[in-house]
């Protein structure tokens, strides 16, 4: 009996020791977990939550307060310094974008002014050459000789005939000069409109109005110099008139269309081919629940390589030898600001190109008013 009692007591003592050891182990484990949570997991959770908050709320001004001398403290301090550098980098980027945007705007204005001023200079030079070639000195001499009445009758007949022919030439020259002055006046007015539009934008933004796209096309064609006009024939399809007016800034849309017509004419001239043609057509479409005008400007000029199709609207990129790479870049940005789209298509080099201009259709205010009155 005694050995069994001793064995029972031994087993009981073993259980007590085992339970005690388990309790101590659990207590130590709990303390270790609490210590790990305080020293490691807690700061990591805090750092993670702060990083998520900064990323979700763009709260770069917030700072993580974790004053520790260990690696987690170093990580927290470095994270704060990183956000400081990010704030500074963003500030510099905004400043640089502002300066770059103003530079792009200035370059676009200068480009459009250059397009408008060039025909003026060409026409003034042509008019000056014609005026210089006029036989004014000979005509004055003939008139003085006739007034002197010292010439023979045959000489007087020749002088009268000369004065008559010279007068007809001068009359024709005056008429051509009047037409040239009128064209110069139209171009000067266009320059004034560009400057006025930019002043309006600098004050309160552009004026949105209904723009006659066909008139903008014809005005753009009229602004081409004689060499470009002789290089290509402009064919405006009746669909342009049927499509109706578009909504936007009249001066800016005229400049965009002018850039498209000018580029098409220069592309045709670069090929030095006969039978150059610029075709313009339009169609109404539905895009994102709104009605838009899709204008297509097609030419049979130099075309665009497939590798360049995605780059022709980039700033400073041009396929022309003396191109500035500003006109199409400015046009694409301007069209996007008006709520439209500008893109290009081409079968390849030497096979012409198509420029697609998409702009919102202007509301028919008269129709809207009539409907309102009827209702």
Residue of 260, 251, 363, 373 whose CA lies nearest to 313: 260
Report how far apart, in Å, the C-alpha atoms of 21 and of each of 31, 179, 194, 348 are. 15, 112, 91, 85
pLDDT band for 220, please (50, 70, 90 cuts): confident
Does the pLDDT value for residue 369 go beyond 50?
Answer: no
3-state secondary structure of 278: strand
Task: Tell me the Cα Rg of the chain.
Answer: 40
The answer for residues whose C-beta is within 8 angstroms of residue 273's C-beta and 6 or more apart is 300
Per the prediction, the chain carries an average pLDDT of 77
- Provide the percentage of residues in the chain whose pLDDT is more than 90: 13
Q: What is the pLDDT of residues 157-216, one digit of tens each?
A: 777 777 778 787 788 888 888 877 777 777 777 777 766 766 665 544 556 788 899 988
The answer for residues whose C-beta is within 8 angstroms of residue 126's C-beta and 6 or more apart is 180, 226
Q: What is the pLDDT of residues 341-350, one digit of tens each?
A: 999 999 988 8
pLDDT band for 295, please (50, 70, 90 cuts): very high
The answer to whether the CB of 186 falls within 8 A of the CB of 218 is no
Highest mean predicted confidence (pLDDT) among 3-12, 192-201, 305-314, 352-361: 352-361
Q: What is the model's pTM?
A: 0.50
Q: How far apart are alpha carbons 304 and 146 in whole angstroms?
A: 65
Element (H, E) at 290: strand 290-299
Q: Say which residue, 271 or 122, is predicted with more confidence.
A: 271
């Amino acid at each position: 009996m005694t050995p069994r009692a001793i064995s029972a007591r031994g087993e009981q003592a073993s259980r007590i020791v085992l339970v005690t050891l388990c309790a101590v182990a659990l207590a130590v484990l709990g303390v270790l977990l609490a210590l790990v949570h305080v020293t490691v997991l807690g700061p990591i959770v805090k750092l993670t939550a702060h990083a998520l908050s900064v990323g979700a709320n763009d709260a770069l001004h917030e700072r993580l307060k974790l004053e520790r001398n260990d690696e987690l403290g170093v990580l927290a301090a470095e994270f704060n310094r990183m956000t400081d550098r990010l704030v500074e980098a963003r500030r510099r980027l905004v400043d640089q974008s502002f300066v770059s945007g103003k530079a792009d705007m200035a370059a676009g204005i200068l480009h459009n002014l250059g397009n408008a001023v060039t025909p003026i200079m060409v026409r003034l030079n042509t008019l000056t050459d014609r005026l210089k070639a006029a036989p004014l000195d000979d005509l004055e001499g003939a008139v003085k000789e006739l007034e002197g009445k010292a010439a023979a009758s045959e000489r007087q007949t020749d002088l009268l005939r000369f004065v008559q022919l010279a007068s007809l030439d001068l009359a024709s020259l005056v008429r051509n000069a009047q037409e040239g002055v009128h064209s110069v006046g139209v171009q000067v007015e266009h320059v004034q409109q560009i400057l006025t539009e930019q002043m309006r934008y600098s004050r309160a933004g552009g004026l949105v109005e209904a723009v006659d796209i066909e008139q903008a096309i014809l005005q753009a064609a009229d602004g081409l110099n004689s060499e470009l006009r002789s290089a290509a024939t402009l064919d405006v399809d009746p669909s342009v008139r049927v499509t109706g007016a578009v909504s936007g800034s009249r001066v800016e849309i005229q400049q965009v269309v002018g850039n498209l017509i000018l580029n098409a004419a220069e592309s045709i001239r670069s090929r030095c081919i006969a039978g150059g043609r610029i075709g313009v057509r339009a169609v109404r479409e539905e895009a994102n629940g709104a009605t838009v005008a899709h204008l297509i400007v097609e030419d049979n000029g130099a075309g665009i390589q497939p590798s360049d199709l995605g780059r022709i609207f980039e700033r400073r990129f041009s396929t022309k030898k003396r191109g500035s790479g500003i006109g199409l870049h400015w046009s694409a940005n301007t069209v996007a600001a008006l709520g439209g789209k500008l893109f290009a298509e081409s079968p390849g080099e030497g096979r012409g190109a198509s420029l697609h201009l998409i702009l919102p259709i202007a509301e028919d205010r008269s129709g809207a008013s009539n409907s309102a009155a009827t209702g």
